[in-house]
Amino acid sequence: MTADHPDRRTFLVGGAAALGGAALAVGGRAAWDADQGRRGAASDGSGTAAGTATVPFRGARQAGVGTPPAAFATVIALDLVPGADRDAIVRLMRIWTDDIERLTQGRPGLTDTEPELALVPASLTVTVGYGSGLFSAAGLDRLRPAWLSPIPAFAIDRLQPAWCGGDLVLQVCADDELTIRHAARLLVRQAGTFATVRWVQRGFRRSPGTTPPGTTMRNLMGQLDGTRNLSPVDDEDLIWHDDTAPDWLVGGTSMVLRRIAMDLDTWDGVDRPVREAVLGRRMADGAPLTGTREHDEPDLEALNDIGFPVIDIAAHIRRARTADPGQRFLRRGYSYDDGPGAGGPDGTGLLFITFQRDVTRQFVPVQQRLAELDLLNTWITPVGSASFAIPGGCPTGEYLGQRLLES
């Protein structure tokens, strides 16, 4: 990235007014770096193992997909400003590449005006994706994947434009909220000349150390969410593109985000046996109603004493399953909650984030089955939907998306 700095510094100096005096921060950043070298460790308690943990940024794949999910996530969709072309997108990607590499390793961005806030990386990852509109703006429609298009409308959808679409996406994850807020704010500010924010969605999971590693997350309905999930190690062929894909997509994937509102007020009135019949699993341990442990294979043929299926024909576990092993995807969901009484009917729910090689082949058929007949649909409503192409990673010497943008 060293060779890219002169171009970026020229841009920052030339665009100082637009970036609120960011050019003035460059000199200050150099002095701050030198000062930190003299002082050593930060004095704000950032020396704990959780705070200093880092995730590598450089590599064949972007972090934040196969990486163990962090406690918090902020997902930001942006729209390119009118007239933004390929050259503008390249400049943005160079800036983001530099800043993301710094931030994820616990160092401030080049024009960071609050550098102390960058000292706690807390396993920060930033994943960058491209919506359909970016390919058109860059004059690269010929390279747009066939699966990168609006997801078909499903019968249960009540989509709100405020939670749909986007030309670019930033998925910012970490085990510390302040780390995320600082990184997200800096990256959005740096994009101000090129793009505007379309929507922001924030979610959470259990914090590190509160449950054993590998524990399946619970959503706000109390349900274990993601039991039959893909393994980033064992199921690579269902997640990432290999060398049969276009060069820019090798090591890449696709991202779907569905914002799913939950009607917890009426769910609160449902007793445990009914909840378990709806899900087809026990609430306590996630075991199928025909098993004893969470990861037991459900027996969909089992009948009860009066001849009815133990697992209802419309239970969520049954509708989500298929005999086609290719209809699976990696789930990285996060709960969201605006607080009691806040946010209206969309105030509480799940950010259903998935990664898969092919949205049309893997994701859509499962969602169609669930939309057609799933007892859980009484309490959940999709209100947002967006999909993005996640380009391959960023080896040393490259910027994000370089193989696409220089095609």
Q: Which of 181, 197, 225, 201 is nearest to 320 (CA)?
A: 225
Task: For residue 261, give the DSSP letter.
Answer: E
Q: How far from 331 is each of 65, 306, 310, 393, 394, CA to CA, in Å?
A: 9, 37, 27, 20, 23
Q: Which helix (H) or strand (E) holds 33?
A: helix 22-39
Q: Which of 88, 290, 99 is nearest to 184 (CA)?
A: 99
Q: Is the dihedral of CA 175, 384, 167, 229 positive or negative?
A: positive
In single-letter form, the type of residue at position 249 comes to L
Cα separation, 389 vs 129, whole angstroms: 5
Is 225 considered catalytic here?
A: yes
Cα separation, 268 vs 183, whole angstroms: 37
Cα separation, 219 vs 365, whole angstroms: 23
Cα dihedral value 101, 105, 109, 110, nearest 10? -70
Tokens 């007014």 sit on residue:
17
Nearest 5 degrees, angle CA 327-CA 331-CA 333?
145
How many other C-beta atoms lie within 10 A of the C-beta of residue 192? 16
Tokens 């349900």 sit on residue:
223
Tokens 């949205």 sit on residue:
359
Q: Which of 176, 225, 346, 374 is catalytic?
A: 225
Cα separation, 176 vs 53, whole angstroms: 11
Which residues are known to be catalytic? 225
